[in-house]
Amino acid sequence: MKISRRLTSLALACSVAAGLAGFGATASAQTAMRINISVAKDSHQGVAIDTFAAEVDKRTSGRIKVQTFYSGSLGAERESIEAVQLGTHELTFSSTGPVPNFVPEARILDIPFLFRDKAHARTVLDGAIGQEMLAKFESKGFKALAWGENGVRHMTNNKRSVNAPDDLKGLKMRTMENPVHVAAYKGLGIVTTPMAFTEVFTALQQGTVDGQENPLSVIMAAKFEQVQKHLTLTGHVYSPAIFLMNKAAFDKLSADDKRHFLEAAKVAVKANRDRVDADDARGVQELRSKGMQVVENVDKARFIKQLEPVNAEFEKQFGKANIDRIRNVR
C-alpha cells in the first residue's frame, strides 16, 4: 500500500515537473517587449502603439508580445528615447521634440512653416527624404521603423487672444526640448521655457508658464482646455512622430520578424494619421464646447515675415538647398 502510494506520488511529481518544463519552454519561446508614449491611451499616439502591438502579435502568431505603456509611465519622451538607445526598453513612439538631441540631422523637419500641409509632410516623410533621414538613426543605436504623426501645432495661452505675431510678445510658453523650436519662438518674442511634456499640465495649472503649443490631438488628449483659455490655429509647425527600436534588439530578430515589425509600423502609422485627421476635424468644435476661445483665421504670412531673420539663420545652418528640396516636394 505504501509502495503504491509512493509510486502514485512519484508519478504525480513527474507529471507536474513535465508540465512545468513544458510551460517553461512555451514561456521562453515568447518574447516580451515594451513601448511607451508620453500621452494618454485614448489619443493618436495610443492608437499608434495599440495598433502596432496588435499587428506584431498577429504577424508573429503571438511569439512576440509588445506591452504598451501610456502617459509617460516609463518616462518622458527624452528619457524614453535614451532608454531605447541604451537597450533598457526595446521601443518607443515619440514626437520629434527631443529627437535632435540624438540625431541632429532631424532638426530640419522642425522648421516653422516648412510644410504646406499634412499631405505635403506625409509625402516628404514617406518618400526619399524621409527614408534617408530614418537611416541616420542607425549609427546612434536605433532602428527607426517608420515616421508617424503628431499633427500640426497651434498656440494656446491663458493671457490673451492671439491674432497676430505681436500678441505673442512676452508670453511665457512651454516649448519642446528642441533647439529649432526654441530659436523660432524667441524670434516671435515668446519667452521660451523648454520642459518635458509630462510636466506641462501642472505648469499651466500653477501658472509657471502662460501657454504651450501642440496639435489639436495632443491638446484634447491632455485636456489642456481645463487649464487654458485661448487657442489660435497658427499651424506654425508640422510635428512628426517616430517609431524607434533599439538597434541591437532589431538586429537579433529573424529576417521574417524584421519584416513583420516594419510592416506593423506601417499599419500603425496609417491608424495614427487617420486619428489625427479625425481629431483635427472635430477638435475646434469640441474645445469650444468646453470653454476655449478659438481664433481660427490667422494671417500666416505675418508670422512668416516675423520669422525671416530666424529663417535666414536656418538656411545657414541646414543649407538652403536642403530646405528647398523639402519645400519643393509635390
Domain boundaries, the chain: 30-327
Quick: pLDDT tens for 93-148: 999 989 999 999 999 999 999 999 999 999 999 999 999 999 999 999 999 999 99
Distance CA 82, CA 75 (A): 10
* pLDDT value, residue 2: 43
Q: Cell for 129?
A: 527624404
What is the signed CA dihedral for 228, 231, 234, 239, rounded to 10 degrees? 50
* Higher-scoring residue by pLDDT: 103, 18: 103
SS3 32: strand
The CATH superfamily assigned to 30-327 is Bacterial extracellular solute-binding protein, family 7 (3.40.190.170)
Comparing 2-16, 89-103, 202-216, the range with the smallest average pLDDT is 2-16
Q: How far apart are the first and last CA of the chain?
A: 87
C-beta neighbour count of 309 within 10 angstroms? 8
**Stretch 242-247: mean pLDDT, rounded?**
98
**What is the pTM assigned to this prediction?**
0.88
Residues in the chain, total: 330
